[in-house]
Amino acid sequence: MSDQVFIANFKDHIGKEVTVKGWLYNQRSKGKIQFLQVRDGSGIVQAVLGKGDVPDDLFARCDHLPQESSIVVRGVVREDKRAPGGYEMSVKHVEIVQESQPYPIALKEHGVDFLLEHRHLWLRSRKTHAILRIRARIIKAIRDFLDNDGFVLIDAPIFTPAACEGTTTLFAVDYFDEKAYLSQSGQLYMEAAAMAFGKVYCFGPAFRAEKSKTRRHLMEFWMVEPEIAYGTLEDVMQCEERMICYIVACVLKDCRKDLEVLERDIAKLEKIKAPFPRISYDESLKILAEKGNALPWGQDFGAPHEEILCNMHDNPLFVTRFPAAFKAFYMKPDPSDEKYVLGADLLAPEGYGEIIGGGQREDSLERLEKKIAENKLPSEAFSWYLDLRRYGSVPHAGFGIGVERTTTWICGIHHIRETIPFPRMLERIYP
Ligand code: 4AD
Ligand code: MG
């Protein structure tokens, strides 16, 4: 039928006869009237079917139609403030495309293992739908922000010869007769691209064999990594701040209904305003000690430490000047005290913790060679990277924003696994 209308566009079709192609989300009958909740991917509408509107045998079939049967419904759109979604359809015709087998995900609570096992079907549920629409809006916001700010999209390879973020979390694969690794980060390639294009970014999957089973870790996640030639730590922090404010504003403007489905406390998102507070690693340690969660100098934060720090503010919090000892080999030491690096993490509020990592890169050939040796990284694999310091090296800086961590925070949900269509986790690679 050519006059298919998406439920999301019903406001332009009030009083008109339209066709909705979708699936039966729920059904209830009151004698001679049936209420079919039909979803079409863009929304859910209540289709009201009266006895006599369609042939009796079809009316009877609809009365026992299993959830998720695929149906095409034709009828007149009516505004109805009481109806979920604000519209109803008075049905004139129903076509049953496929009568579903009994659907495993009933409209009741299921355990999370069961839902993850049925993730391919769980995608159809209201909550997942809301989260993944917000995820899509966040990705669009990030890309629009960077595209409008003069960044050029340059993609990075997925098969790589070496580690970017530490050798302990690499996924190795056979690359014909060689070993290759799935990319942990596109950063090193973006440094090359920044020397060619000035301001660049990549957007792709990142793979980390992290043996941690936490609510913030995925084995495969998506990351956007901007890199700025002649950029400094200060430049990237300001860029991050503007980008986060833009993302939050876009979601608040375009995803109200989805946020409501998730029962997100919208007031908390409305409080996000630049400038974001900043503290140094050393200042953080003092606060953590005062709050009874002391951490020895030189150790990285764990989730509980980040949680304490980011719960102190309504806005995201920058933590700067980490000890060089536990940060990546490419980070530039702070010239005023080389124990520290010119790096910053951005911690989301409400206990969510790190969503962005970034900073200024080591730009001296000699020092970078030394760092690669100290970290026992295979120097041959980094020869190309060192060329960037041989031929026109400049100060430069960049960051990586985790799409799923950001989505978890903005949606206000507990676990990162719900923010990616098909999560890859420590004990799960199905479906
Ligand atoms: O802090 P990370 O490891 O930094 C980098 O990869 C840099 N090379 C980025 C850059 O400067 N270009 O990772 C960046 C972000 C984290 O802040 C987090 O949001 C996300 O990537 N991330 C993860 N998200 C989900 N699961 C994991 N296992 C993640 N590891 C990092
Ligand atoms: Mg990090």
What is the C-alpha to C-alpha distance for residues 40 and 261, in angstroms, rounded to an integer?
Answer: 17
368-379 burial: b if 16+ Cβ within 10 Å, else e: beebbeeeebee
43-77 burial: b if 16+ Cβ within 10 Å, else e: bbbbbbbeeebbeeeebeebeebebbbebbbbbeb
Residue 83 CA to ligand 1 center (angstroms) comes to 43
Architecture in CATH for domain 119-419: 2-Layer Sandwich (3.30)
- In the chain, CATH 2.40.50.140 covers 7-98
Joined together, the tokens standing for residue 93 give 């015709």
Please list every protein residue whose CB sits less than 6 Å from any atom of ligand 1. Answer: 164-165, 185, 187, 208, 210, 217-218, 221, 223, 225, 354-358, 398-400, 402, 404-405
Strand ranges across the sheet with 199-207: 152-153, 199-207, 220-229, 396-402, 353-360, 343-348, 317-320, 278-280
Joined together, the tokens standing for residue 61 give 């079939």
pLDDT of residue 2: 60
Alpha helices in 98-232 (DSSP H): 112-117, 119-122, 126-148, 187-197
Confidence of residue 324 (pLDDT cuts 50, 70, 90): very high
What is the C-alpha to C-alpha distance for residues 63 and 28, in angstroms, rounded to an integer?
Answer: 8
- Of residues 400, 403, 416, the one with CA closest to residue 344: 400
Q: Is the pLDDT at 1 greater than 60, yes or no? A: no
Task: Identify the nearest ligand to the CA of 330 by its number.
Answer: 1
Task: Identify the nearest ligand to the CA of 331 by its number.
Answer: 1
Terminal CA-to-CA distance of the chain, rounded, Å? 33
- Of residues 391, 371, 392, the one with CA closest to residue 382: 371
The protein residue whose alpha carbon is closest to atom 11 in ligand 1 is 399
The protein residue whose alpha carbon is closest to atom 29 in ligand 1 is 217
pLDDT in tens, 209-247: 998 889 999 999 999 999 999 999 999 999 999 999 999
The protein residue whose alpha carbon is closest to atom 31 in ligand 1 is 402
**Residue range 61-82: mean pLDDT, rounded:** 96
Residue 281 CA to ligand 2 center (angstroms) comes to 14
Residue 120 CA to ligand 2 center (angstroms) comes to 30
Indicate the top mutation candidate among 352, 405, 424, 425 to test ligand 1's pocket, ranked by most ligand atoms within 8 A of CB.
405
What is the C-alpha to C-alpha distance for residues 232 and 263, in angstroms, rounded to an integer?
Answer: 39
pLDDT in tens, 384-401: 999 999 999 999 999 999
Task: Identify the nearest ligand to the CA of 408 by its number.
Answer: 1
Residue 359 CA to ligand 2 center (angstroms) comes to 11
SS3 376: coil
pLDDT of residue 33: 97
The protein residue whose alpha carbon is closest to atom 4 in ligand 1 is 357
pLDDT of residue 386: 98
How many residues are listed for the chain in this entry?
A: 431
**Residue range 58-79: mean pLDDT, rounded:** 97
SS3 117: helix
Q: Which atom of ligand 1 is nearest to the CA of 190?
A: 12
- Of residues 71, 171, 70, 68, the one with CA closest to residue 118: 68
Confidence of residue 127 (pLDDT cuts 50, 70, 90): very high
pLDDT of residue 166: 87
pLDDT of residue 96: 98
Are 315 and 273 a contacting pair, CB within 8 Å? Answer: yes
**Residue range 348-377: mean pLDDT, rounded:** 97
pLDDT of residue 3: 86
The protein residue whose alpha carbon is closest to atom 24 in ligand 1 is 402
pLDDT of residue 108: 78
- Tell how far CA 71 is from the center of its chain: 32
Please provide the DSSP assignment of 255-305 as one string.
-HHHHHHTT--HHHHHT--SSPPEEEHHHHHHHHHHTT----TTPPP-HHH
Confidence of residue 31 (pLDDT cuts 50, 70, 90): confident
Q: Which atom of ligand 1 is nearest to the CA of 355?
A: 19
Residue 61 CA to ligand 1 center (angstroms) comes to 52
What is the C-alpha to C-alpha distance for residues 59 and 80, in angstroms, rounded to an integer?
Answer: 23
The protein residue whose alpha carbon is closest to atom 6 in ligand 1 is 185
Are 407 and 132 a contacting pair, CB within 8 Å? Answer: no
Strand ranges for 155-241 from DSSP E: 159-160, 172-175, 178-182, 199-207, 220-229
Q: Which residue has the tokens 């606060």?
A: 287
Question: According to the CATH classification, is domain 7-98 in 2.40.50.140?
Answer: yes
To the question of pTM greater than 0.95 for the whole model, the response is yes
What is the C-alpha to C-alpha distance for residues 185 and 187, in angstroms, rounded to an integer?
Answer: 5
- In the chain, CATH 3.30.930.10 covers 119-419
**Residue range 417-431: mean pLDDT, rounded:** 96
pLDDT of residue 106: 84
| Burial zone of 204 (CB within 10 Å; 0-12 exposed, 13-18 middle, 19+ buried) | middle
Confidence of residue 380 (pLDDT cuts 50, 70, 90): very high
What is the C-alpha to C-alpha distance for residues 192 and 225, in angstroms, rounded to an integer?
Answer: 13
Other Cβ atoms closer than 10 A to 174 = 8
Task: Identify the nearest ligand to the CA of 346 by its number.
Answer: 1
The protein residue whose alpha carbon is closest to atom 28 in ligand 1 is 217
Q: Which atom of ligand 1 is nearest to the CA of 227?
A: 12
pLDDT in tens, 160-204: 998 889 889 999 999 999 999 999 999 999 999 999 999 999 999
Nearest 5°: CA angle at 121, between 116 and 127?
A: 75
Indicate the top mutation candidate among 221, 329, 399 to test ligand 1's pocket, ranked by most ligand atoms within 8 A of CB.
221
Q: What is the mean pLDDT of the chain?
A: 96
The protein residue whose alpha carbon is closest to atom 27 in ligand 1 is 217
Q: Is the pLDDT at 20 greater than 80, yes or no? A: yes
